[in-house]
Every structure is written in C-alpha cells, then in structure tokens.
Structure 1
Amino acid sequence: MPQPLGLRCNNAGANQVGAATSEAANKPAAAWGAVLSMALCVAMLIASEFMPVSLLTPMAAGLHATEGQTGQAISISGLFAVAASVVVTTVAGTLNRKWVLVAMTAFMLLSLVLVAAAPNFAVLMTGRALLGICIGGFWSLATAVIMRLVPEGDVPRALALMYGGQAIAAAFAAPIGSSLGGMFGWRAVFWALTPIVAINLVWHLIALPSLPARQRQDFRTMFGLLRRPYFRRGLIAAMLSWGSAFAMFTYLRPFLEQVTGADVTTLSILLLVLGCAGFAGTWASGRFLSGNVAPLLRLPALLMGACTLGLLLLGGSVIATSLFLALWGAMNTAMLVIWMTWMSQNVDDAPEAAGSLMVAAIQTSILLGAVVGGLLLDGMTISATFIGSVVLACLAIALIGNGSRLLKPE
C-alpha cells in the first residue's frame, strides 16, 4: 500500500541517518596509542643511531680503535639503512606492516645488546649493521603507516607527534649520553637503552592494529623517478647537504675536545644547546614554510656550511662555539622539513617510491659524510674534517643554485 508523502520522507531521512551512523560505526577510531608507540620508536632510533657521536672518544679507547675507525660505526648503519630503505618497501608490499615494524624494533633491541657487549670492533660493526636495517625499514614505511592509523584530517597532527620523538632524542640523547658515559662508561649508556626498546617492542605488539598489505611497490617506479633530471639533481643536492652536515657532526666531539678544550660537563652543555636549537628549527620550518620551496633549498647547506667555517675560525671560544652550534642545530632539523616539502610538491604522483629513494639518499649521505670525515681525521687533522664538510656544502650550493632546476616542469 502506498505510504503518505510525509511518512516516506521521514523513512528516507531515517534511512540516511542510519546509514551515516553505520558508516561512522564502521570507521576505525584513531589509534593514538600506536602513534605514540611509533613516536617512542623514532626517539630510540635517533638516540641509538647517533649516540656514538657523543661517546666517540671513549668508545675508540675501549675497543682499541682510532676515532676515525669508530666513526665508521655510524657509516655502517647508514650503508645498511640505504639497502633496507629500498628493499623493505618492496618486500613489505606482501607482508602485514605491523609485523614488519615489530621486526624492525626487534632488530634495534638486538643491535643495542651487541654494541653494549661488543668485545671487539667487528661485533660493534655487526650491531650497527642491524641498526641500519631497522632505520631504513622503519623510515621507509613510517609515513604510510601513520596514514592508516588515523583519519585523514588527523594525519598532520600524528606526523608531528611522531617527529616529536625525533626532536626529543636529538635534543637530549647526546648530552645525556655524554654525561652518563663520563660517569658509568660508554657501555652502560647502550645498556640503559635496551629496557626502553624492549618496552617499545611490547607496546607495538599491543597497540599496533593489523595492517595488511594494500599494494606492492616495485623497482620500476623508482627507476622511473631516477630518470627525471630534476629529481635526480635534487637527490644529489640533498646527499651533498646531508654529507656536509655529517662530516662535521659525526666528529664534533673530537673537535670540541681538541680545539674548544671542552671537558665532559662543557661538552654536554654544548650538545644540549645544539639539540634544543632543533626545536626552534622544527617550529620555524613548520610555521613559515609555505608556497614555492625552491629558494630555500640552498639555505641549509649555506647556513650550516657557514657555521662550520665559523667553528674553524673561532672554535677556541666556548661562547662563539655555542652560538654556531645553536644556529647549526636549528637549521639541521629545518633541513628535513625543507627537503621533504620539496619532495611532496614535485613528486606527488609517486610519493611512496620517492620517499624510499629520499631515505636511501639521506642515509647514503650519512655514510658519505662519516667516511670522508673519518679519513680526513685519521690521515690529517680534525680541522681537515671540518674543511671537507665546508667543501661538500659549497658543492651542494653550486648544484642547487636558485632551486629552479630542481622543480618539476610545468
């Protein structure tokens, strides 16, 4: 029997409300516990990767190696991170992302145990290689996983929360590591990280939802990107910029000890200044970076190279050194935001493949900087290492120019 018009309208409205309610009920809630778990993992990754910077001298003495050789503990993690960033994203296309992230965190835990207990240089390098696999695998998947943990509107806030772990570790890991290393020895610092990573591993198991594979990424997409001249130039320029940064940063402690004359307390304070400045860099880049990023691409190499040159000229002064390190630290964190913004604006048609290549490029630059800096330190002096950093910065600036050649053609 036909229903009256008003009744039909009421029924239709009820059906629409019911459908909307059903859709809202079926929509998964934001997994903020999982986001926090990933933020802690980021903090532990950064702390584990760069802790040797603040412990370089005692680690070298404890393993009966040179400071340049021990600096390669950072370069070896970069080497394996390069391979993992490319391979893991293709293999993970057929695997549940949750278990890939759990495996990466387990590798980090095993790495810390090997480094802390290392009886010789070979075991140390093995532990650092495992850490490299974790670094490359985690970073290549992190953004895509975050996008699946929260609704689309919450993705920026979730990413900021995750990168907050990086800022905290960058600010406090090095000075705390330096202080604890001075009091208890460098091995105790790595042992102290292991229970935190173990808790993080359990947290992953509890908080991360099942994340089945959605699509498989292959190498053809990556090779297609590398055939684009502007993207190729951008990757090389990014590598030179990060290579310059890490040729200096990896061997900062020997410079501060030999040139600035810093004791353990002064060293910890200077590293804290450098790290805390990173918060300012992250805030400023997130607040003021908008529109065409091309003119800003050369800014990191320009300012950080100038700070390194300033350290060479005025590094004997603690006050001047603290000023240069503050400027360097602020731009170091802003550099990641600037280059990732460039990538998002110019490779928006293949963001996952571009992200894998970008992680590989950054890790290659860390390898490049640590190797070149270590060779110059062992073969010449710490000043030669810093001069090498300035040269790499100049090459980056020359390649970038005004940034127009790194933009996608209209």
Structure 2
Amino acid sequence: MAVTAVSHEGTKSIASWGAVLSMALCVALLIASEFMPVSLLTPMAEGLRATEGQTGQAISISGLFAVAASMIITTAAGTLNRKWVLVAMTAFMLVSLLLVAVAPNFAVLMLGRALLGICIGGFWALATAVIMRLVPESEVPRALALMYGGQAIAAAFAAPVGSYLGGLFGWRSVFWALTPIVAVNLVWHLLALPSLPARQRQDVRTMLGLLKRPYFLRGLVASMLSWGSAFTMFTYLRPFLELVTGADVTTLSILLLVLGCAGFVGTWASGRFLSGSVAPLLRLPALLMGGCTLGLLLLGGSVVAAGVFLAVWGAMNTAMSVIWMTWMSQNADDAPEAAGSLMVAAIQASILLGAVVGGLLLDGLSIFATFMGSLILAAIGVALIGNGRRLLKPE
C-alpha cells in the first residue's frame, strides 16, 4: 500500500508540473502576443497609415479589455470548471492573432487586440489561484517562477525575432507564425490540466473586502506604479533606440535579445532565492528599473551602455512578476481568485495608462518626455513601498 501511495503521489506530482509547464507556454504566448507591437511599432504604423503613438494604443486597447475581463471573469465564470475557462481564454488568443494578421485597417487591428485583452485578463486573473491548487504551498514560489519563465522566453526571443522576421517578411508574417504554436498549447491544456472545479463563487463583495484591507490596497497601488513606470518606457523603447541610440534593425534586434535573455536570470533568481518574507524585495523592481531608465536618458546614445541598462531592466522585469504574485499569494491566500482579479486589473490598467500617457508625451513632446514620465512613476512607487512591511498582512 505504501509503495502504491508513493507511486500515485509521484505520478500526481509529475502531472501537476506538466500542467504548470503548459501554463508557462501560455504565458510566453500571451506576452509575445501582447507586446509584439513594441518590436514592430514602426512598420505597423506605416502599414496601417497611423502614427507610432496611435499604433502604441494597440497595446493600450488590449489592456483596457484585460482590465474589464479580469474584474468580471471570476464572477462571470461562476461555478465553471477553471480548466475549461483557461482553455477558452487560449482559444480567444488564437482568434485574436488571426484577426491581427489579416487586419485590413486600424479598426480590425483594434478588434483583434480587444479580444486578446479578454484572454489576458481572464487567464491572469485565475493563473496564480490555479498554481496554488496544482502544487503544495511550499512550492508555489518555484511554480510561479517556472510559469513566469514563459515571460522570460517571450521577452528573450519574441521581440528580437519579431523585429528581425518583420524586417524580412513583413509584420503580418510574425503574427501568422504564432498561430500554430497557440494551437499546440490549446491541445496541451486539454491533456495536461486536471479538472479544477470552482471551490467557491467569487463576487464583488469579496473584492471590496480585500480593498478595505489597508495593506492590500497599499500593495495594489504600489504594484500599479511599478508596472506603470515599466511600460511607459518599454512600450516606446524602439523609437528611443532608433532615435537616441541610433540602432538599425540588426542592432535593435541584438539589444532586444539582450534584454530578453536577461529575463532568464531574473526568473532563475526569483525562483531560487524568494523565500520567507517578500517585503524587502518589493521595492527592487521600481528602484532598479527606474534607475535603468535614468541611465538610458543620460547614456542612451551609447550602444554598449544601452545594452547594459537593458540587461538589468530585463532581469528585473521578469523578477517583478514573481515578486508581486508571491506577495499576493502570501497576503491574500484566503481569497486568491478575487485577489488575482484585482491584481491583474491593476497591472493591466497601469500598462494601459503607461501606453496612453507615453504615447501622448511622445507625439506631443519627445521620447525624452516619455522616459521622464516613467522615471517619475518609479520614484513615487519606491517612496510608497518603503521597506515593504506596511504591505504585509498583520500576523
């Protein structure tokens, strides 16, 4: 009997980590799909006869719908099995990519991006809660790091490969290339994810209850400032590298590859060293990424300097997700789906506002104004977080 039990648990453990890997691939595809316009901003703007600032709104529109979807998904899904909700979100991503690839005009592009936003909001709202059900509590940070390894993969290869292939074959071919991979991931979800019946019905009152907790509300605002700062800069990174650093397509691809590969370091470090209290780590993303933005403003004319700052930025970008989602899992463990909805809404709202404000600053003033806006948000975030202790639930 003991041998049978051990064998069963071992099989269950392997199956659970297979499901985590399936979610990691989905994360990679979501990140690649959401932020591919960053590496293709200039050719997409030319192809759709729009300004770069307007095309940047392709990211903000997906963020807008992601905010809405993340707020309603746990309520709208009701008692639906969470496995099938995740499968549906992945199917939405596939349809979105097809719409963007064939978009004859800006309106159809926005429609495809809106559908992607629904997928992003729905998936992320449930992702951490699902991870908490797939693995033991002690393994949650490791599983989160593994899942966000998909973010590192996308950051490492999606932008530079997208930029390179877009230069060779046109930006539409990049979105076409993603569709068969999403189809494979859809099948993997069906095979790897276990049945995940809804444990309890979430509603608006649960979310409001979380917002009434001062430590959670403070952390939510701090996370918004961290992501808002990051994506005010990142959304318009290509124009900066072209105008200030003087990067051609090849150099641009190399710099984006450096940024993305550094993400593996951030994912590895966060999974290996994140244990115990997360408080001391909460301010690191805004502090270091804001410092990198300042460095680019001062020394961004040098390709070497730009590469160094982007490497540090890329490592903290992936670590930021693991740090803040671990904070959520530890400080809202009694309502993980509601907390996930709020966190995703906050993050996507920040990405949306970052893209909008950054685009307005770019079109109205200059790329330097866009990066200064990012720096200001980072400084406010660091000040709010402090030593991180005020963001922890009372013991």
Aligned to 2:390: 405
Q: Which residues in structure 2 correspond to 1:123-142 (within 5 Å)?
A: 123-142=108-127
Match of 2:306 in 1: 321
Q: Residue 58 of structure 1 aligns with which residue?
A: 43
The alpha-carbon distance between structure 1 residues 172 and 235, as it changes in their structure 2 partners (threshold 3 A), is same
Q: Distance in 2 between matches of 1:312 and 1:51?
A: 24
Q: Answer yes or no: is 1:255 the counterpart of 2:243.
A: no
Quote the residue 2:272 is aligned against. 287
Q: Does 1:372 align with 2:333?
A: no
What residue in structure 1 maps to residue 263 of structure 2? 278
Matches of 1:234 and 1:68, distance apart in 2: 30
Cα deviation per residue 1:121-170 (whole Å; 9 max; x = unaligned)? 11111101100110111111223334444566766654443322222111
Contact 1:93 1:214 (8 Å CA) reproduced:
no
Could you tell me whether the CA contact under 8 Å between 1:29 and 1:150 is conserved in 2? no
The equivalent of 1:353 in structure 2 is 338
Q: Which amino acid in 2 is paired with 1:200?
A: N
Is residue 12 of structure 2 the alignment partner of residue 29 of structure 1? yes
Q: What are the residue-to-residue correspondences of 1:82-121 with 2, within 5 Å? A: 82-121=67-106
Is 2:60 the partner of 1:75? yes
> Bigger CA drift: 202-211 or 300-309?
202-211
**For 1:153 and 1:228, how far apart are their aligned partners in 2?**
25
Structure 1: stretches of 5+ with no match in the other structure: 1-16
Contact 1:95 1:213 in 2 (8 A): yes
Where does residue 182 of structure 2 map in the other structure?
197
**Conservation of the 8 A alpha-carbon contact between 1:240 and 1:393:** yes
Unpaired segments of 5 or more residues in structure 2? none
Query: What one-letter code is carried by the residue in structure 2 that aligns with 1:29?
Result: K
In the superposition, relative to structure 1, how do residues 157 and 333 fare at CA in structure 2: closer, same or farther (>3 Å)? closer
Aligned length: 393
* Range moving further from structure 2, 356-365 or 23-32: 23-32
The 5 A counterparts of 1:169-208 are 169-208=154-193
Q: Distance between the aligned counterparts of 1:22 and 1:133, measured in 2?
A: 41
- Measured at CA, do residues 33 and 292 of structure 1 come closer, stay the same or move farther in structure 2, by a change above 3 Å? closer
SS at match of 1:29: helix
Moved more, 339-348 or 262-271: 339-348
Q: Deviations over 1:19-65 (max 9, x none)?
A: x9589769983425443332221111111011111001110111011
| Residues in 1 aligned to 2:286 and 2:138: alpha-carbon distance in whole angstroms | 33
- Displacement of 1:99 after TM fit? 1.9
Q: Structure 2: how far apart are the matches of 1:289 and 1:74?
A: 30
The aligned amino acid for 2:249 is: V
1-side partners of 2:350 and 2:322: how far apart?
17
SS in 1 for 2:393: coil
Deviation, structure 1 residue 95: 0.9
Q: Retained in 1: the 8 A contact 2:141–2:322?
A: no
- One-letter identity of the residue aligned with 2:284: L
CA-CA distance at 1:358 after TM superposition: 1.1
The residue aligned with 2:28 is 43
Are residues 146 and 227 of structure 1, via their aligned partners in 2, closer, same or farther at CA, if it must alter by over 3 Å? closer
Letter in 1 for 2:384: L
The residue aligned with 2:198 is 213
TM-score (norm 2): 0.93
Please tell me the residue identity of whatever aligns with 1:331: M
Tell me if structure 2 keeps the 8 A contact 1:81–1:360.
yes
For residues 31 and 153 of structure 2, the distance between their equivalents in structure 1, rounded to whole angstroms, comes to: 9
TM-score (norm 1): 0.89
Q: Identify which of 122, 132, 144 aligns with 2:107.
A: 122
Give the structure with higher Rg (CA): 1
